[in-house]
Amino acid sequence: MNVIIRAEKPTEREVSERILRAAFGREDEVRLSTALRGLSDFNPNLSLVGADENEIRGYALYHRSTVDTGTGSQPALLLSPIGVDPAYQRQGIGERLVRHGLERCRVVGLELVFVIGLPPYFSRFGFQPAAPLGLTPSIAIPEDQFQVIDLSGRMLGKIQGRVALPSPIAGGGQPVPTDS
Ligand SMILES: CC(C)(COP(=O)(O)OP(=O)(O)OC[C@H]1O[C@@H](n2cnc3c(N)ncnc32)[C@H](O)[C@@H]1OP(=O)(O)O)[C@@H](O)C(=O)NCCC(=O)NCCS
């Protein structure tokens, strides 16, 4: 199977949604991807598919988020959702969607990428829990599931603050109270 990773075409959205529905076995991530695509800062170059000669087999979306440091705002990205057709899982498609996506993020100069979910899966790429590093999400997320990778290697430990997640995610969660 020869899978390539590339930007999704607008005509392929329905197929990507079908992949997400099958991967997660529910509608939540389909609704999330639809809502994220509708935001003004949606970047189609970071809406990625893994496709073989016949069909799309996996989908991953990297969306804008920011770290509010108290004195400023640092642009970042959130990888969510990512899903692979169950019939094609464990063949490296998810890994390629992550690695290729992170490379695209690096090329556009974004250093911090966050992800929600599956600590054992994402740690292999260098993601680590964000909260112990002082990067806390704006909604309640189990600490081990909210992870970050520093693509430049010069941000973690130097930047701390509240991570403002895209509104379709933040709107669906419990806000974490601020100290002030
Ligand atoms: C998680 C997911 C995107 C990985 O994609 P994939 O193409 O199947 O994964 P890869 O082939 O790159 O990597 C396979 C490895 O990932 C690990 N892995 C796969 N699914 C995993 C899971 N649910 N939990 C932990 N590790 C997992 C395994 O270690 C596997 O290696 P192995 O076959 O040697 O055991 C895919 O399994 C999926 O769509 N799962 C359902 C949706 C989901 O949970 N998405 C992520 C949360 S946002």
Distance separating alpha carbons of residues 62 and 76, to the nearest angstrom: 10
Q: Provide the number of structural domains found in the chain.
A: 1
Question: 110: domain range?
Answer: 4-170
From 121, 141, 165, the mutation candidate for ligand 1 (largest count of ligand atoms within 8 A of CB) is 121
Domain containing residue 98: CATH number? 3.40.630.30
**pLDDT at site 170:** 87
% of the chain residues with pLDDT over 90: 88
Residue 176 lies in a domain: no
For residue 152, what pLDDT band results from cuts at 50, 70 and 90? very high
Residue 12 lies in a domain: yes
Residue 121 lies in a domain: yes
Please give the C-alpha separations between residue 164 and each of 3, 31, 77, 148, 153, in angstroms, as whole numbers: 33, 20, 10, 13, 21
From 17, 28, 118, the mutation candidate for ligand 1 (largest count of ligand atoms within 8 A of CB) is 118
Residue 163 lies in a domain: yes
For 61, phi then psi, to 5°, come to -120, 125
**pLDDT at site 160:** 97
Could you identify the atom of ligand 1 that is nearest to the CA of residue 121? 26
pTM: 0.93
CA-nearest residue for atom 43, ligand 1, is: 83
Residue 178 lies in a domain: no
Cα–ligand 1 centroid distance for 29 (angstroms): 16
Can you read off the two tokens belonging to residue 52? 């073989």
Cα–ligand 1 centroid distance for 48 (angstroms): 17
Cα–ligand 1 centroid distance for 24 (angstroms): 11
**pLDDT at site 180:** 44
Q: Per residue in 1-15, pLDDT tens?
A: 799 999 999 999 999
Residue 92 lies in a domain: yes
Q: Per residue in 19-72, pLDDT tens?
A: 999 999 999 999 999 999 999 999 999 999 999 998 999 999 999 999 999 999
